[in-house]
């Protein structure tokens, strides 16, 4: 016979947990000692092993009690199938979160690199390629006409303020910067 | 409407602006020389495959404007 304390240590549980299992009728001691201490026998140990196995599968105590009832074989299969289904759903939810996190990280890395450019550097680069101020103006006008959303995104990536972006796009739409 | 321009759209944009092939090459070369990280970021923004990005950057390094 084993005491609550010994059994708890052996299974890595708290005494409180075993007292609770007794209170809800999940695992009752085999007997009481002369000092009225709970005593557990081999059958209780085997039952506790089963309880722990179902707990590791993620079943709540209420369901563990159900499946441990005598003659509950059908119910056990049903409970386990439902648990498996719930696990599969949880896994696909986590996979979706994983995909989103990866996409977010990639997006951040990309934006950081593009943001290494600012307006002054971009203008300098275009000037080195031989564009005049008029060419750059025409470039905005064409960008706005061909790809308005990408124009917005591009200006944002240069760290230009929302008001200035609005101004640039407004004169781009008019077709000239005056 | 896409928030990203494609490579073709970008080339068309430069052509409409009046840039010729030489100027575009010079632009890539300057981009790679002065802001290599941003050049990479820009090419990714165009959603080019990694292989093509590597090729463009390698060619930009060689280009003598």
Task: Give the C-alpha separation, A73 to B63, whole Å.
Answer: 76
Cβ neighbors of A69 (< 8 A, separation 6 or more) are A75
> ipTM of this predicted complex?
0.83
Task: Say whether A125 and B30 touch across the interface (CB within 8 A).
Answer: yes
Per-residue pLDDT band for A73 (boundaries 50, 70, 90) equals confident
The pLDDT tens digits along chain B (65 residues) read 567 788 898 899 999 888 888 889 999 999 999 888 889 888 988 889 999 999 999 999 885 65
Q: Is the separation of the CB atoms in B26 and A128 below 8 Å?
A: yes
Main-chain dihedrals φ then ψ at residue A37, nearest 5 degrees: -85, 145
Q: Is the pLDDT of residue A67 over 60?
A: yes
Task: Say whether A125 and B26 touch across the interface (CB within 8 A).
Answer: no
Task: Say whether A131 and B17 touch across the interface (CB within 8 A).
Answer: yes
Output the pTM of the full model: 0.51
- Map out the domains of chain B as residue ranges: 7-62
Per-residue pLDDT band for A6 (boundaries 50, 70, 90) equals very high
Task: Say whether A147 and B9 touch across the interface (CB within 8 A).
Answer: yes
Per-residue pLDDT band for A110 (boundaries 50, 70, 90) equals low
Chain B residues near residue A136 by CB distance under 8 angstroms: 17
Q: From start to end of B1-65, where are the E strands?
A: none
Q: B interface mutation test: which of A144, A146, A150 has the most B CBs within 10 A?
A: A150
Task: Give the C-alpha separation, B31 to A135, whole Å.
Answer: 18
Task: Give the C-alpha separation, B22 to B20, whole Å.
Answer: 6
């Amino acid at each position: 016979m084993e005491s609550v304390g010994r059994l708890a240590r052996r299974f890595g549980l708290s005494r409180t947990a075993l007292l609770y299992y007794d209170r809800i009728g999940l695992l009752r001691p085999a007997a009481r000692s002369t000092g009225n201490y709970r005593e557990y026998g081999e059958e209780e140990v085997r039952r506790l092993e089963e309880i722990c196995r179902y707990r590791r599968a993620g079943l709540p105590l209420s369901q563990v009690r159900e499946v441990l009832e005598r003659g509950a074989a059908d119910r056990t299969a049903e409970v386990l199938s439902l648990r498996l289904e719930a696990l599969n759903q949880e896994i696909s939810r986590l996979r979706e979160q994983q995909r989103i996190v990866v996409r977010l990280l990639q997006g951040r890395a990309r934006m950081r690199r593009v943001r290494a450019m600012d307006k002054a550097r971009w203008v300098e680069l275009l000037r080195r390629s031989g564009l005049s101020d008029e060419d750059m103006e025409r470039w905005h006008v064409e960008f706005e006409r061909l790809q308005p959303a990408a124009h917005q995104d591009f200006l944002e990536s240069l760290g230009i303020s929302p008001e200035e972006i609005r101004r640039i796009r407004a004169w781009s739409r008019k077709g000239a910067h005056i | 409407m896409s928030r990203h321009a494609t490579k073709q759209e970008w080339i068309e944009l430069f052509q409409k602006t009046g840039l010729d092939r030489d100027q575009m090459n010079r632009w890539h070369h300057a981009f790679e020389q002065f802001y290599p990280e941003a050049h990479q970021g820009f090419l990714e923004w165009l959603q080019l495959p990694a292989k093509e990005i590597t090729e463009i950057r390698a060619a930009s390094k060689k280009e003598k404007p």
